[in-house]
Amino acid sequence: PLDGGMLFPRESSSREVKELNGLWDFRADGSPNRNEGFEKAWYKRRLAETGPVIEMPVPASYNDITQDPTLRDFIGWVWYEREVFVPARWISDEGTRVILRVGSAHYYSIVWVNGEKVTEHEGGHLPFEAEISSLIRRDPTKPCRITIAVNNTLTLETLPPGTIQYMNDRTRYPDGFFVQNIYFDFFNYAGIHRPVLLYTTPKVYVDDIIVETNFMDDTGLVRYKVSVQGAATATLKVTLMDKDGHCVASSNTPSGVLKVVDVKLWWPYLMHENPGYLYSMEVRQHTSTYEDVYTLPVGIRTVNVTKTQFLVNNKPFYFHGVNKHEDSDIRGKGLDWALIVKDFNLIKWLGANSFRTSHYPYAEEILQMCDRHGIVVIDECPGVGIKDIRSFGNSSLSHHLVVMDELVRRDKNHPSVVMWSVANEPASEMTLIKHTKALDHTRPVTYITDSNYARDKGAPFVDVVCVNSYFSWYHDPGHLEVIPIQLNAQFENWYGKYKKPIIQSEYGADALPGLHMDPPMMFTEEYQNALLQSYHDVFDQKRKQYVIGELIWNFADFMTAQAIHRVVGNKKGIFTRQRQPKAAAFILRKRYWRLANETG
Ligand code: GCB
């Protein structure tokens, strides 16, 4: 169980937010043991006083920002620092809590304020924060110096895991040479990937809200629980408002059920003329001295799974969507609003109604857009590349469980999130699935498999079977004619054994944009088209039975480690990395709009 909530920082009449995005001072610790920063306590003084610094944008991966190949491929600690003036009113008002929050940093982070350590956090993709009120009050005349050291080393204890391999043969490798082995297929981007900010709350504050929704006939039911910190008793007022700001239900207890007459349900994109309907739940709590207001968007919907169907609001939902990555030129995995909005426009243009957050939790800002636009999400944790590590042991599993705790804590209230994925192609699943089900009884749980249906250890425990397959690509390369028989067999075997609905969670082929051949050959746009179409023919036979979705691998080309099977990254995108369509994008567009009309 985690300590406290992790509500997304929002401004309100009682809360202020100050973004610290922009240019930070930066230095990679290139010393042989990567430990000079700690030995010389770089956090104690300004970073520029302990050695050379460069300017580094936040949020962004640092890898592609400079012309230096050692920084692109750097493994170890990097140091970020910036100074900020904290508004005097925040400091002088003893009733104000000031919290420093990092949206995500990749992977291990330690944070100091004015040379004093305030927190550390293991793992990327998820937020962490520290209250720094007393620290900034100690010397209110000084600007506040924030130092963040981030280490991207992956080991058997991290998620995703990796190994460090030292090459000690001095006839073949330079002194100190080592490599970071990874077991996943995307570039190991690092740095501060999401916004860093300061925000305030009053001393007595709304710490967490849990919302579960349901409906009966025309009445929506919002079961909620509010936790308040900082006072034994506080008066609470919970108001649910519709889009026009009209109160539709209210209460004054910390937990309860709000009843909404003539409910407007949250519907997926293309399933309803008004998708993504959100109410606002205003939680207002006060004591004689403090008042705090936090407003949470709430979508009222249900999710259920039968033997053959996935139901949203009791209606069959067919996933026609994409797998994504947080990935783009220059900024790597750094949050970028222009990219986010462009991607949503492309998703809608495609007629896609869903995506899977392969292979890690995406920014909350993205999930909020999904809530608003009705894009359905399979929310995946960073459990990727764990099958290939034979010695994958308990220490990693216990960290994996904590990551699931943090993921559910962060994303539990998003109506767009309809299912948790505990891992991609893992080796040991059962504990994770049970743990996640205990954390959230309202959502189905899955993991993504590519293993043999007969040997699979996790399938008996999941609600939905998610299968990746690459027929006529990794298997029988160049032989498109195997797809009908192999894909049919795949579906029949999995369904036959487990009697659970199936999502084709990955399928696809690399295509270099502009490369053409007819008859099709691998890596041409024609081959990608032909492969997708063969898959689609089988989907169409099975989708009326128990196949409940298809997610193309991948929405866009993305960067990977250098390898002989990757030509500047993975090219299975239907869009290029710059988000221009390949021929396959038009095939999927036609198909998805047809599916939307048939099933929507
Ligand atoms: C997979 C992985 C994905 C890879 C993809 C590929 O099964 O889940 O991360 O990128 O195959 O293209 O090889």
Mean pLDDT of 521-526: 98
Question: Tokens 């001393």 map to which residue?
Answer: 203
Q: Is the pLDDT of residue 429 over 90?
A: no
Residue 327 CA, ligand 1 centroid: distance in Å:
15
Instruction: List the catalytic residues.
Output: 425
What single-letter amino acid sits at 207?
D
Whole-angstrom distance, CA of residue 573 vs CA of residue 553? 7
Q: Is the pLDDT of residue 196 over 60?
A: yes
Mean pLDDT of the chain: 95
Q: Which atom of ligand 1 is nearest to the CA of 510?
A: 12
Whole-angstrom distance, CA of residue 271 vs CA of residue 599? 8
ipTM above 0.90, yes or no: yes
HEC string for 146-172: EEEEEECCCCCCCCCCEEEEECCCCCC
Residue 460 CA, ligand 1 centroid: distance in Å:
24
Looking at 282-286, 350-354, 391-395, 473-477, which range is the least confident one? 391-395
Residue 120 confidence (pLDDT): 98
Model confidence at 200, in pLDDT bands (50, 70, 90)?
A: very high
Residue 305 CA, ligand 1 centroid: distance in Å:
26
Q: Is the pLDDT of residue 110 over 60?
A: yes
Cα 215 vs. chain centroid, distance in angstroms?
28
Instruction: Write the residue with the smallest CA distance to atom 10 of ligand 1.
Output: 185
Helix axes 483-498 and 525-542, enclosed angle (nearest 10): 40
End-to-end, the C-alpha distance of the chain in Å comes to 39
Model confidence at 390, in pLDDT bands (50, 70, 90)?
A: very low
Closest CA to 333 of 106, 579, 21: 106
Mean pLDDT of 347-374: 98
- In percent, the amount of the chain with pLDDT more than 90 equals 89
Q: Is the pLDDT of residue 526 over 60?
A: yes
Q: Is 285 exposed, middle or buried (0-12, 13-18, 19+ CB in 10 A)?
A: buried
Mean pLDDT of 487-498: 96
Q: Choose the residue to mutate in 446, 475, 506 for probing ligand 1, maximizing ligand atoms within 8 Å of C-beta.
A: 506
Copy the structure tokens of residue 191: 């740095």
Q: Is the pLDDT of residue 392 over 70?
A: no
Model confidence at 397, in pLDDT bands (50, 70, 90)?
A: confident
Q: Which atom of ligand 1 is nearest to the CA of 184?
A: 9
Q: Choose the residue to mutate in 388, 553, 566 for probing ligand 1, maximizing ligand atoms within 8 Å of C-beta.
A: 553
Residue 424 confidence (pLDDT): 82
Residue 452 CA, ligand 1 centroid: distance in Å:
16
Instruction: Write the residue with the smallest CA distance to atom 4 of ligand 1.
Output: 185
Q: Is the pLDDT of residue 600 over 70?
A: no
Q: Which atom of ligand 1 is nearest to the CA of 448?
A: 8
Residues with CB under 6 A from ligand 1: 184-185, 359, 424-425, 450, 468, 506, 553, 570, 572
Mean pLDDT of 551-580: 97
Q: Is the pLDDT of residue 235 over 60?
A: yes
Mean pLDDT of 188-207: 98
Q: Choose the residue to mutate in 386, 468, 504, 557 for probing ligand 1, maximizing ligand atoms within 8 Å of C-beta.
A: 468
Instruction: Write the residue with the smallest CA distance to atom 2 of ligand 1.
Output: 185
Residue 230 confidence (pLDDT): 94
Q: Which atom of ligand 1 is nearest to the CA of 558?
A: 10
Question: Tokens 């970073």 map to which residue?
Answer: 47
Instruction: Write the residue with the smallest CA distance to atom 6 of ligand 1.
Output: 185
Residue 427 confidence (pLDDT): 65
DSSP letters, 46-85, are -GGGSS--EEEEESS-STTTSS-HHHHT--SEEEEEEEEP
Q: pTM for the full model?
A: 0.97
Residue 10 CA, ligand 1 centroid: distance in Å:
36
Whole-angstrom distance, CA of residue 62 vs CA of residue 65? 6
Residue 68 confidence (pLDDT): 98
Whole-angstrom distance, CA of residue 384 vs CA of residue 359? 6
* Continuous H helices in 96-201: 133-138
CB atoms within 10 A of CB 358: 28
Instruction: Write the residue with the smallest CA distance to atom 5 of ligand 1.
Output: 185
> Is 53 strand, coil or helix?
coil
Residue 452 confidence (pLDDT): 83
Residue 63 confidence (pLDDT): 98
Instruction: Write the residue with the smallest CA distance to atom 13 of ligand 1.
Output: 185
Residue 575 CA, ligand 1 centroid: distance in Å:
16
CA 104-110-111 angle, 5° bins: 85
Residue 185 CA, ligand 1 centroid: distance in Å:
6
Q: Is 571 exposed, middle or buried (0-12, 13-18, 19+ CB in 10 A)?
A: buried
Mean pLDDT of 415-444: 89
Whole-angstrom distance, CA of residue 220 vs CA of residue 247? 14
Instruction: Write the residue with the smallest CA distance to atom 8 of ligand 1.
Output: 424
Copy the structure tokens of residue 536: 């689609």
Looking at 76-80, 228-232, 409-413, which range is the least confident one? 228-232
